[in-house]
Amino acid sequence: MKPKATKILYWIVTLLFCFFMLMDGIADILHQKSAVEVVKHLGYPEYTLFILGVAKILGQAAILQPRFNTLKEWAYAGFAIHFIIAISSRYLVGDASSLLIPPLLLLLFMLYGYGLWKKVERFENV
């Protein structure tokens, strides 16, 4: 893929991912009914919603900022851990395998964006 096409695809994937994380983070902070039901079902205390919501908003802001690459790496790592915990939690409480698919797809989507970012970085450092 050409550098310009890679950069455009990176921004499309990244903006979509960050928009989803922003919306999800806001829903967590506002303790939307569906989010409260999920954390209770998984056995986590309700106050974790606020912590996760703030972390999602800060994480997506870290991914979008262009200056501090280490911060961006940590944000990607944090989201990866978040999705792995979500998948594991769903599995361990005995949820249907169909409920494991959304966090798995988001993890793969995020990893795809991460890979594109690394390609763009290589193009810019040549």
Q: Which residues contact 125 (CB under 8 A, 6 or more apart)?
A: none
Blockwise average pLDDT, block size 10, the chain, 126 residues:
92 97 97 96 96 97 95 98 97 95 96 96 83
Rounded CA Rg of the chain: 16
pLDDT at position 1 is 80
- Nearest CA-CA partner of 117 in 82, 81, 71, 55: 71
And the tokens for 13?
A: 């994937």
114 domain residue, yes or no: yes
Domain that holds residue 11: 3-121
15 domain residue, yes or no: yes
126 domain residue, yes or no: no
| Ramachandran bin of 31, using left for φ above 0, alpha for ψ from -120 to 50, beta for the remaining angles | left
Residue 56: CB atoms within 10 Å: 25
What total of structural domains would you count in the chain?
1
52 domain residue, yes or no: yes
CB 103 within 8 A of CB 85: no
95 domain residue, yes or no: yes
